[in-house]
A = this chain, B = another copy of it.
Amino acid sequence: MSILLLMVRTRTFDPATALTHAVELFASKGYSETSMEDIVKATGVSRYGLYGTFGNKRELFEQALDRYADSMGKQAFLRLLEPEASLDHIRRIFEGRVDDMCCEGATKGCLFIHTAMELAPRDDDLKDVLQKFMRRMSKLFSIGLESAKEKGEVRKDLDVTAAGELLTSTMFGLVVLGRTGFDRKTLNNIVENTLRAMR
């Protein structure tokens, strides 16, 4: 008889989809403004389930941050690793983000910015995790730029490391402007002018 594996009643929710909902809420409203009650309602999962599966709000947030970074990577950034990555790949990443910020209820936000502004100053662990993600993001931009350089799409003397960090920074600036209601045209213009500087 196995004690550890005993599970007399099966779980009625999928932790992965629950986490997806949590990511959406946190990305939209940030940490403090998202209550566990909000998450209970959005996921349909009981407090018991949430606490049992994710620990507490802080730990749930950290897992949401992991997931967020992961899905951002898979959705868009990892394609920058392919040798055929071009400036257009980078442009599309930005345009996708602009669309997120401008269309419909524009409820999408940015978990990275929320973490940086709300939590990083008082939670060193989270700050380190966040910094790691941002460095990775910058690195992926750099790699994409290097491929673009080989294609002759960006100037030969471009410091791709510095440019990658600049693009990461631009990404956040865009979101902040998007949240305050700047329109798609303005945001895409910023993207275009930023990319133009690489050529």
CB < 8 Å: which of B29, B30, B182, B197 contacts A131? B182
CB < 8 Å: which of B106, B109, B120, B196 contacts A181? B120
Residues of B close to A166: CB separation below 8 A: 190, 193-194
Task: Give CA–CA (A150, B101) in the complex, Å.
Answer: 36
Task: Give CA–CA (A30, B130) in the complex, Å.
Answer: 19
CB < 8 Å: which of B29, B120, B176 contacts A116? B176
Residues of B close to A2: CB separation below 8 A: none
Interface size on A, residues (CB 8 A): 48
Q: Hey, what's the 0/1 contact readout for A131-171 against B, CB within 8 Å counting as 1?
A: 10010000000000000000000000001001101101111
Residues of B close to A163: CB separation below 8 A: 193
10 interchain pairs (CB within 8 A)?
A120-B181, A131-B180, A134-B177, A165-B182, A165-B186, A169-B174, A169-B176, A170-B170, A172-B173, A176-B176
